[in-house]
Amino acid sequence: MSHVAKLIMSGGAQLVCLPTAYRFDSKEVFIRKDPETGEVILSCRPDNWDSFFDAVKRANIPADFLSPEERRQDVQQRDPFANAAGRGLDPLAFS
């Protein structure tokens, strides 16, 4: 079942008044728009990383995922703009 939320203009911003059943337990939310449907999706932005680390602990990660050899990678010294011209990029365009 879907509900309706009121939209209010305030200066240059548009505010969404959520029904009580849809209130968030945080000070901020993530917002994204589905490019296919145009639907706007709000989701809770956690105040800290605790839930993420709890999910990592519960994840079923195989023991051989990223062996010590795969994790041990040396620092690579390279010029990030070395191949920019060959790819049609102007390295100064973003400065």
Domain boundaries, given as residue ranges, for the chain: 23-52
Looking at residue 3, its pLDDT comes to: 87
pTM of the model: 0.49
**Stronger pLDDT, 92 or 17, i.e. the higher one:** 17
Which pLDDT does position 71 carry in this prediction? 82
Instruction: Determine the residue type at 40.
Output: V
pLDDT value of residue 86: 63
CA dihedral 73, 75, 78, 81 (to 10 degrees): 80
Tokens 């079923």 correspond to 60
State pLDDT tens for residues 44-76: 988 889 988 999 899 988 888 888 888 888 888
